[in-house]
Structure 1
């Protein structure tokens, strides 16, 4: 384990803020059994369907992932029914809907562009989906075919959470950032976490049930691009704001390696956050077995509260 990408990243104290996968909307399909590195086309899901779903979601703001219950993965090729979830993560319009289906091809009837905009109508029409009545979902990446750290660290975490009675725990195919394993995505709010441990996951889920966000260990909200993720988290720390839905990234000016991000609060306050892209040094692998590199990092240079008049000027 000493030479794994996650161990090296932890030892080098690589920051996790601004590293979450980006998606306004997540679509999750239950698929038991083994997963390959590109799970939509290398699992017991029909690969032709997987390719069609990838094509349908492209450019829509929807990210598709497969999920399965924690534990031993029986080699079942055709589950009778599958759970399907869709979650929209943009603050102020957050929702999580659920359905079951015996025919996953019905997912091709979804309006992916509308789902990406936060309109769940086609999910109800195509699958009979309804608002999820349970608690939050805790998705732990466990796909060892993408990176061994996800299996070595993610699967024990998912199993421990499930064994301790935590509701809503699923294994998921890919959340990005293998070197931050075990990685977690919490829905419906879409905040991702790195180097997660069972007690912190329970704290995160307890907070989500109350509409609050745990900032410690947070990689960012998937609704925003990475500069926005870092900026929003920096504002949360600066003003000690934990309410899940009160901050939005309303504008991002500039381009790599420097951005000026405007973060707005529902109470009218606004902040200009300067974010710079740096390189993580010394070089380290971004995933196990890859060449040494210097992964991009989002460094917050400054946070400044401003008035609307100042922004207009």
Structure 2
């Protein structure tokens, strides 16, 4: 397993992410599943359930969160790294909408006067990745010029995200202004600092300032940096099921494949083993592999700070056979 790099953030010795680091727990196959992402700027404090426990109108937040979930997507709140005063500028609230994650990812952005304008999103078309219908329904949106990296800093969900995520987000934002945002809970605070790279929905673990900047620079080419490959950092693409995430991450590392959309992966349960899946990975150059993956139980570790240890699990990816 990959050795743990040093210096990717600070936290108390007993914090959940520190314990998972010490256990060298692998990250692949742990990305939150989402067919699309909606990221809405909301300055100020966030509660545990940020969509309804912030200065965003709770009815608007609850409605957007429900509509995203019903159509297979995820809503995040975002804010600019640094101080969290709830100041509202004349430019409105920034929103990013990422879709087409299966094979042709796209990212839209706007500065909205009212967050409720997002209620006009055509949710089935968004889930299907139809950018034209989305733009027709919400004409305030336009194609974003650059990818963005969202770093989880939602301390009310887990303190690791604030203590480890905020310094990374701030330093990376200073290096690449306007392209890094703090965000609410993405899942996986045990891998803090965690991030989501839009538009691809690529989810990352154990970020540090240098890696965050490398990720953004590589994303300009539609790639991941080589340093992000492997079980220490690559949690997987959100559009995939967990076993497919794990298999794709393993094969990406094996091939040294940096292109974010070069691989497509599907998973089917193994009819002979309830803990295993059969995955098919296709490369856009025509190659195709069959891979078996098993879910294994592991050590007992706390999944959140202050929680009792529970049995953990990881994925064991078998050899890839060309088909």
Question: TM-score when scaled to structure 2?
Answer: 0.89
Mapped partners of 2:223, 2:174: distance in 1:
25
1:290 partnered with 2:301: no
Q: Report if aligned partners of 1:101, 1:127 keep a CA contact under 8 Å in 2.
A: no
Q: Report if aligned partners of 2:110, 2:142 keep a CA contact under 8 Å in 1.
A: yes
Mapped partners of 2:175, 2:298: distance in 1:
36
Mapped partners of 1:166, 1:272: distance in 2:
42
Given the alignment, which residue of 285, 290, 294 partners 1:267? Answer: 285
Mapped partners of 1:4, 1:127: distance in 2:
45
Equivalent residue for 2:122? 111
User: Per-residue deviation at 1:114?
Assistant: 1.3
User: Per-residue deviation at 1:188?
Assistant: 1.4
SS at match of 1:7: helix
User: Per-residue deviation at 1:163?
Assistant: 2.4
Divergent runs of 4+, >4 A: none
RMSD, aligned CA? 1.6
SS at match of 1:223: coil
Equivalent residue for 2:142? 130
Q: Report if aligned partners of 1:191, 1:221 keep a CA contact under 8 Å in 2.
A: yes
Given the alignment, which residue of 8, 33, 38 partners 1:27? Answer: 38
CA displacement, residues 118-174 of structure 1 (integer Å, 9 cap, x when unaligned): 0132344225211112x2101100010000000000011111112234440000001
Equivalent residue for 2:103? 92
Structure 2: tracts of 5 or more residues without a match: 1-11
Mapped partners of 2:181, 2:256: distance in 1:
30
1:218 partnered with 2:229: no
User: Per-residue deviation at 1:58?
Assistant: 2.6
SS at match of 2:319: strand
Mapped partners of 2:85, 2:41: distance in 1:
14
CA displacement, residues 75-122 of structure 1 (integer Å, 9 cap, x when unaligned): 34x655111111125242110111121111111111112111101323
SS at match of 2:70: coil
CA displacement, residues 51-82 of structure 1 (integer Å, 9 cap, x when unaligned): 11122223312111000000001034x65511
Instruction: Report the more deviating stretch, 39-48 or 164-173.
Output: 164-173
User: Per-residue deviation at 1:10?
Assistant: 0.3
SS at match of 1:84: strand
Equivalent residue for 2:8? none
- Structure 2 CA distance for partners of 1:193 and 1:147, relative to 1, 3 Å: same
Q: Report if aligned partners of 1:91, 1:244 keep a CA contact under 8 Å in 2.
A: no
Aligned residues: 303
Q: Report if aligned partners of 2:241, 2:267 keep a CA contact under 8 Å in 1.
A: no
Instruction: Report the more deviating stretch, 57-66 or 245-254.
Output: 245-254
